[in-house]
Structure 1
């Protein structure tokens, strides 16, 4: 049975009042004067519903715009993987499984604000728009269906995030009213109910959205891609193959020709399926943030060096590619994904007697019996770093930048098609090799689960998909990958013991804890995840 969402009367009213502050990027809509917007306008007029849909993009972006703990919410999933070394900060605590593993500590508040409440807020607002649009009389059917399709996409994505993270969730298709605002949820929805609603919403979006649209808005292609991801989660390889191949062969998309172009500029190109827009000095455009700074290093602290835009600007050395990922990228010397495209691996003096030469003051540990005495500075100042969140025209004098964020792209669709074909006993080599050859890497001749994992690592690292991929493949896979490869293990001795994600990982961490403050709002019998 699909459940009501829990809300106090005050929260119910806030749902209505929130729409009086509808904002967007400049291309999304013609602004309405705030004095003319109220709940009646939003829910009972065509223009109001269109504005309500635009507000969903803002709410969706909130997780990336949230400044808590240096914008931790944007990168927490990337930090929890077998590909990352988490050097410092609260992001490091979460990524090393020192925090975010209890329903009652401060980290549970971060999980609540940034994920549990964030996605339930988004799903609730989406449901309000869906139901209002279905009830509105004075509207053309094609307009109604487009409004509902975008809202259903966001509801599906919200529940897909919640289900993958928290497992024991409930889903709801009823609008919040004075009559049901105090209803208590006593049990979670079944996986069948959850996935049925997600798939139904995504199919509606596929049926009623076009492949082409305004940059930054979801399209038929976005919905087909996410439906393929849901099918992979279900183990429905035939559906995943169908959606992925349909998107690749029938949609107006293509891989861009060079890896250096994937994250270039505003990313409005043939490979993008959904990009969250940030634009400075525009109403609703988002704010400067720390997303890129968490990924970069402090190379500019080396003598005779300075902060440079081509190195991603100023970084803070928090979330770094680990040796496992760097070794995967280095397997093929012609693979250019670590050649100042997805990752930067070398930094150069900008002044002094060694100008133009590689900074060589700091060395990693290569001999455990004779460790470098500068390895800590190496991790902080000249370690390879991710460039996927760097602003092309950034201000190199500040940590705070503003640039668009790639959410879904066709390269992942190709890798889904490759894996789905493999799982069905078919040949997925053409899909995985298309991605490899774009990067300059030699094609592979055999395909198995490890090859899929390795290629997803090289292509999609730090884009927020990895932890979910490991969980989807099962407890054995995620245990093996985290316990053997997360962090840098013995190559960063200060990371051993309490700071080592390999030893901190526990089987039940495969599900996040439901924050206790949210569990307290549910019925007494509502289940916490096992192990917490």
Structure 2
């Protein structure tokens, strides 16, 4: 069998809502004999084919969708850092959530970038440029998705098996996810600004401008798209997760916007809007599928021959990145000052209150780097790491579904159910169960949920989004000494976008 290799390139910005994007996907045909253990994105760009050829057959549509996934890893639109694999996870968002208590003095990053980020200096030229790169890069990818969707129905007859439903469902699901994260970055907190204008929700591939939706409207559009994606992906094989396949597109399900990832995104989106019953419904569906079981022992232990620091069986969706080792340059360096959570901060995070030094995350998510300095090490790539465990950056993990369900139960005063759900994650992390009889208020359950977000999503960025959803006072929930600006949760729109909107 031949292996498909591809690349995707985009046109330069000329104004967000008035530009067309063209997809250029490269194909390289190598000798037969792919092995079943290879992931679908373990490929190298070579050559380009025109769009007219790209969408002629099933493989062309697959390649276009693979290009969308590739774009989630790369710096975009003039940005410097990987989109989902740095900025929205271990880099910018983790810095904003104060995962690293030395960010003001690190030598990693360009021109004091992270020092300005942790100081919430959104007016800094470097920070503005990176935020503009996030905005433009994500809309760029949305436009490529819309281009694919504008052609797929007329080419339905070129697809075999369930691949029409798979490609279309993944594309719509990815469009929803990108818009949702744009909303979580550039819109007001739903706790204070549901009716405030936020972002354009773009569903068409053309030059027509798209007006801005409110936070509430954008969430409704996102949820609508997720239901469309769910309906399509329900017509594919949802019975098992694939870790290997001779068809590179269907191999390693957890690097795709799969059916269960869409269910989890529905839980996340409903939670963000405050639809707690719906959020609980979808979270419970993911948990009840039993396809993403919580770990039962410390699979990340240093004594293991193979250290699975990501608890990979729990991941619903992760971005594949061959650049993870490069991104670890924020942590695993031989000189200079890397990102750290200093020992006192680490101890406070993992052992305060109901915590314990025995927490697997405390024990196994921090290691010495090349310079012998202890740093967050969730993304270290050991030499003997099995292929399927390499190069993943988590976007959705099942533990969040337990937290969502616990918060939904707690909102109704059902403390027992909330504590029970938290205890399932706690026990899987080597912690003792919380004593439900000793937690007498919903506020105390809420505190335990927040502590879990802080511990669980180290280096993953989701803690910042949790704080924003509830409009938490960052000066109180972090140990930051920075002055917190009033607009801390709202990324500024790029100057070009403001220009074109005016």
Structure 2 length normalisation: TM-score?
0.75
Q: Residue 469 of structure 1: CA displacement?
A: 0.3
Equivalent position to 1:132, from 151, 154, 172? 151
> What do the CA deviations read for 1:321-356 (whole angstroms, capped 9, x no partner)?
684553131234453335541224xx69x9xxxxxx
> What do the CA deviations read for 1:478-525 (whole angstroms, capped 9, x no partner)?
x2xx213535xxxxxxxxxxxxx43421121121111213322x221x
Task: Specify whether residues 472 and 45 from structure 1 end up closer, same or farther in structure 2 by C-alpha distance, changes over 3 A only.
Answer: same
Equivalent position to 2:429, from 413, 426, 439? 439
> What do the CA deviations read for 1:117-137 (whole angstroms, capped 9, x no partner)?
111111111111122112325
Q: Residue 173 of structure 1: CA displacement?
A: 0.9
Answer yes or no: is the 8 Å Cα contact 1:412–1:460 preserved in 2: no
Equivalent position to 1:453, from 450, 453, 456? 450
> What do the CA deviations read for 1:347-387 (whole angstroms, capped 9, x no partner)?
69x9xxxxxxxxxxxxxxxxxxxxxxxxxxxxx974x5211
Equivalent position to 1:194, from 218, 238, 250? 218
Equivalent position to 1:217, from 256, 260, 265? 256
Q: Residue 163 of structure 1: CA displacement?
A: 0.4
Task: Specify whether residues 49 and 288 from structure 1 end up closer, same or farther in structure 2 by C-alpha distance, changes over 3 A only.
Answer: same
Task: Specify whether residues 184 and 226 from structure 1 end up closer, same or farther in structure 2 by C-alpha distance, changes over 3 A only.
Answer: closer
Cα distance in 2, alignment partners of residues 297 and 36 from structure 1? 36
Cα distance in 1, alignment partners of residues 47 and 114 from structure 2? 44
Cα distance in 2, alignment partners of residues 137 and 442 from structure 1? 53
Task: Specify whether residues 69 and 408 from structure 1 end up closer, same or farther in structure 2 by C-alpha distance, changes over 3 A only.
Answer: closer
The residue number in structure 1 matching 2:180 is 160
Cα distance in 1, alignment partners of residues 492 and 17 from structure 2? 24
> What do the CA deviations read for 1:438-480 (whole angstroms, capped 9, x no partner)?
2221111235211110111122222110111000012xx2x2x
Count of residues paired in the alignment: 429
Task: Specify whether residues 198 and 121 from structure 1 end up closer, same or farther in structure 2 by C-alpha distance, changes over 3 A only.
Answer: same
The residue number in structure 2 matching 1:528 is none
Whether 1:203 and 2:255 are equivalent positions in the alignment is: no
Equivalent position to 2:169, from 149, 173, 184? 149
Q: Residue 404 of structure 1: CA displacement?
A: 2.5
Q: Residue 230 of structure 1: CA displacement?
A: 0.8
Cα distance in 2, alignment partners of residues 415 and 264 from structure 1? 25
Answer yes or no: is the 8 Å Cα contact 1:237–1:420 preserved in 2: yes
Cα distance in 1, alignment partners of residues 311 and 155 from structure 2? 34
Answer yes or no: is the 8 Å Cα contact 2:287–2:401 preserved in 1: yes
Give the superposed CA RMSD.
3.8
Whether 1:415 and 2:396 are equivalent positions in the alignment is: no
The residue number in structure 1 matching 2:465 is 468
Equivalent positions of 1:47-66 (< 5 A) are 47-63=59-75
Cα distance in 2, alignment partners of residues 57 and 196 from structure 1? 24
Cα distance in 2, alignment partners of residues 63 and 511 from structure 1? 21
Q: Residue 206 of structure 1: CA displacement?
A: 2.2
The residue number in structure 2 matching 1:373 is none
Cα distance in 2, alignment partners of residues 289 and 14 from structure 1? 34
Cα distance in 1, alignment partners of residues 464 and 446 from structure 2? 15
> What do the CA deviations read for 1:145-171 (whole angstroms, capped 9, x no partner)?
211111011111110111011012111
Cα distance in 1, alignment partners of residues 378 and 62 from structure 2? 32
Equivalent position to 1:80, from 93, 96, 103? 96
Q: Residue 218 of structure 1: CA displacement?
A: 2.5
Answer yes or no: is the 8 Å Cα contact 1:292–1:389 preserved in 2: yes
Answer yes or no: is the 8 Å Cα contact 1:131–1:175 preserved in 2: yes
Cα distance in 1, alignment partners of residues 128 and 481 from structure 2? 22
Whether 1:405 and 2:441 are equivalent positions in the alignment is: no
Cα distance in 2, alignment partners of residues 413 and 505 from structure 1? 30
Gaps of 5+ in 1: 1-5, 279-285, 302-314, 351-379, 396-401, 488-500, 525-532
The residue number in structure 2 matching 1:328 is 349
Equivalent position to 1:121, from 129, 136, 140? 140
Larger Rg: 1
Q: Residue 46 of structure 1: CA displacement?
A: 2.4
Q: Secondary structure at 1:138's aligned position in 2? A: helix
Cα distance in 2, alignment partners of residues 91 and 394 from structure 1? 34
Q: Secondary structure at 1:326's aligned position in 2? A: helix
Structure 1 length normalisation: TM-score?
0.71
Task: Specify whether residues 64 and 340 from structure 1 end up closer, same or farther in structure 2 by C-alpha distance, changes over 3 A only.
Answer: farther
Q: Secondary structure at 2:341's aligned position in 1? A: strand
Q: Secondary structure at 1:49's aligned position in 2? A: helix
Equivalent positions of 1:96-495 (< 5 A) are 96-99=118-121, 101-102=122-123, 105-113=125-133, 115-139=134-158, 142-167=162-187, 168-176=198-206, 180=207, 183-184=208-209, 187-209=211-233, 210-211=237-238, 212-213=241-242, 214-215=251-252, 216-261=255-300, 264-265=307-308, 269-278=312-321, 286-287=322-323, 289-296=325-332, 316-320=337-341, 323-324=344-345, 326-331=347-352, 332-344=355-367, 382=373, 384-393=374-383, 403-426=391-414, 427-444=417-434, 445=436, 446=439, 448-474=445-471, 477=472, 479=473, 482-487=474-479
Cα distance in 2, alignment partners of residues 49 and 160 from structure 1? 24
